[in-house]
Amino acid sequence: MRPAAALAACVLLSACATAGGSLPSPAVSGYLDVATVNDLADGVSPPSSSPPSPGDPQPEPPGADRWWMATSHAELRPPEAAQHFDCALGTRLGETSRPALTRLMNRLLVDAVTVTRRLAALHPRPRPIAVDPELQPCQRIDAATRATPSWPAAEAVAGAAYGEMFAELAPDRAAAARFIGSELGRSRTVCRMNWPQDVESGQAIGRRVFEAAQQESGLPADLEAARAELAAARAEGLTNPSCAAERRALGPMPGAAR
């Protein structure tokens, strides 16, 4: 990939991310209580007991446009993660502080990671990069990260939950928001961090996480506050300069601003 294209892919964030799936500050709580988390986890079918073969992932090669996009997608913590949705929404969310949106995303991330960790503890299976140490991940990792469970893909859970959230906040861009949410998960196969089945399962779980959060009393007010911030951001008329690089990496986006 040309250096300029690689740089453009990373400009979606302030810098290329090196890790994803971390919890926000301990002061942030999710929407779901322990009982709801347990109910969600109990309703998910575990993966096959045997891991897929090392040849199962068919990601893009290192240096491809999609590879660099996957590198930036590794950052799922707000407020930076909101910028993944700039092009889908036709705005530039990182231009100024959006505290209500950041709070909403942080609380959903807590729920996504909490559910993921419970399921991973119940049904651990190795990552592609653990089964085949020769696979090259698209982010810097250490031995501890390599040894963490692959199922379900935490970024796929969070990405799908974010996609549903932005679809709720901007119904006219719902298809594009869900598309980006799903691509955040697919980036984990590009990065050799998760098997495709882990991502597919994680996306379904993420949608269920948002659906469960909608039943909690704290979500409606947070949605309304974030909706006002998003409307203000879209009214600013700014766009992210990396949208051309994103289109090159991901292809056509359904219902997105051009």
Distance CA 91, CA 231 (A): 10
Q: What's the confidence (pLDDT) of residue 116?
A: 96
Mean pLDDT over each residue of the chain, to the nearest integer? 86
Assign 48 a pLDDT band (cuts: 50, 70, 90): confident
Residue 257: pLDDT above 60?
no
Backbone torsion region of residue 69, taken as left when φ is above 0, otherwise alpha when ψ lies between -120 and 50, otherwise beta: alpha
For 26-46, how does the pLDDT look when each residue is reduced to its tens digit (9 = 90+)? 568 999 999 999 999 999 988
Give the pLDDT mean for 196-214. 96
Q: Cβ(166)–Cβ(177) under 8 Å? A: yes
Quick one: which of 104, 122, 102, 201 has its CA closest to 156? 201
What proportion of the chain, given as a percentage, has pLDDT over 70? 84
pTM of the model: 0.88
Residue 15: pLDDT above 50?
no
Quick one: which of 29, 202, 54 has its CA closest to 136? 54
Q: What's the confidence (pLDDT) of residue 47?
A: 81
Residue 255: pLDDT above 60?
yes
Residue 8: pLDDT above 60?
no
First vs last C-alpha separation in the chain: 24
Q: What's the confidence (pLDDT) of residue 61?
A: 74
Residue 12: pLDDT above 90?
no
Q: What's the confidence (pLDDT) of residue 22?
A: 58
Give the pLDDT mean for 174-181. 97
Give the pLDDT mean for 80-98. 95
